[in-house]
Amino acid sequence: MNFKLSLLALLLSFSVITTSCISVKVSDNTVSAVSSEVRKPKNIVLLIGDGMGLSQVSAAIYYKKDGKPNFERFNTIGLSKTSSSSDLVTDSAAGATVFSAGVKTYNGAIGVDKDTIAVPTIVEQLSKEGYSTGIVATSSIQHATPASFYAHVKSRRFYEDITAFAPNSGVNFFAGGGLKFFNDRKDGENLLDDMKAKGYDVFTDKLPKTPSRNNEIILLAEDGMPKMSEGRGDFLPNATKLALEKLSKNEKGFFLMVEGSQIDWGGHANDADYLIEELLDFDKTIGEVLDFAKKDGETLVIVTADHETGGFTLATDGKNYNKIKPTFSTTGHSGTMVPVFAEGPGASLFNGIYESNEIYHKMKALLAK
C-alpha cells in the first residue's frame, strides 16, 4: 500500500513539473511572461517564407530530390491567423510588422501601428539590451518584410525613407539587395558613406567568406536579388551561415531574421517552377540553421510565413492521382492560416492556433530576463 501511494505521489509530482514547464501568463490573449520552469533560449532565428502556405511547404515533399525536407525535422507545429487590422487578407508589410513589433496594423504599414505611430521593433529593443541582430533576405533590404524590422514609415513604397533608417538601426549584419536606394537616390545623398561613418563595412561585389569584425552590410543587387533560375546560387544559405558565425560571437545572444522573399513572387506570378525553386532554397537554408542550433543547443528556430500567396494547391493532373499539377486560384494573397514550425528551447509555446502577432510576444517573453 505504501509503495502504491509513493508511486502515485511520484506520478502526480511529475505531472505538475511537466505542466509547469509549458505554462505561460496570458493577458488579453497575449503572452506576457513565461513560467520560470521553461528553458529559455539564448538566441532566436526567425525564418519567414514570404507567401508560404501549407501547400508551398508540402511542395518540398514532392519536389526535393535529395532526402527529406528540413521542414520534417521540427517537432512543434502551430497555425497562425494572418489578417491585418485593415483587411481580412494581409499584405507583407502588415504581415511582417506583427512579427517585428507585435501589433496588428493596416496593409502597407512598416513598423507603425494602425494610427501610423512608430512601434519599437524587436531588433531595436534587443540591440539596446546588448544582443546582436541580423537581417538577411532575397529581396532588397528595403522590401516590406526586412524593412519592418528596422524602419518606421507609413507606406512600404517609401523605399528611400526606409533606407535612411539603416545607418542608425543598430543592426549588426545586413545581407540582400537594394543598393540603388543607398547610392542612386533622388535626394543625391550616398547613404553608403553614412553606413561607413557609422562603422559598417560595406560589400557590394560578393559575399565575404568570413565575417567582418565590424558591423557589415552586404548589398549584391540594385534591387531584389536574382531568381534561383538566374544564377543566385547559395546566397541565402551562405549569407545565413555567415550571419550565424558573426552573431554567435556575442555572449549575450542574438536575433536573426531570414526571409525567403521570392516564394511570394513566384506565387504572384502563378509560376510554379519559380515558386518551388525558391521554396527548396528556403528549405536548404532552414537546414543550415537547424544544424547550427543542434550543435549550439541554446538557439530557438522558428519558421513561418506572413501570409499565403497565389492560392497555391497541389492538385491532381486530371484524373491521374499519381501525378501532381500545381495550380493557383489568384495572383494575390489568400486568407488561409499559415504554419508555424519551432525547434529548440521554448518551442512548445508555438503549439496551437493563434493570431500572427502572438509570435512576437512569445519571442519577447522567451528572451525576457
Compute the half-sphere exposure of residue 249: CA atoms within 13 Å on the CB side of its CA: 15
| Nearest residue to 61 via CA among 53, 69, 73, 49 | 69
Residues annotated catalytic, as ranges: 92
Q: State CA 216 to chain mean position distance.
A: 20
| Nearest residue to 208 via CA among 196, 199, 220 | 220
Grid cell of 32 as nine digits: 506576457
Residue that is written with C-alpha cell 560589400 in the block: 203
Residue that is written with C-alpha cell 558613406 in the block: 193
Are the C-beta atoms of residues 78 and 354 closer than 8 Å to each other?
yes
Q: In DSSP terms, which residues pair with 334 in a beta bridge?
A: 308
Between the alpha carbon of residue 50 and those of residues 57, 85, 121, 262, 328, the distances in Å are 12, 19, 19, 7, 16
| Nearest residue to 124 via CA among 149, 102, 147, 99 | 149
Cα distance between residue 179 and residue 221, in whole Å: 6
**Secondary element (H or E) of residue 128:** helix 122-128
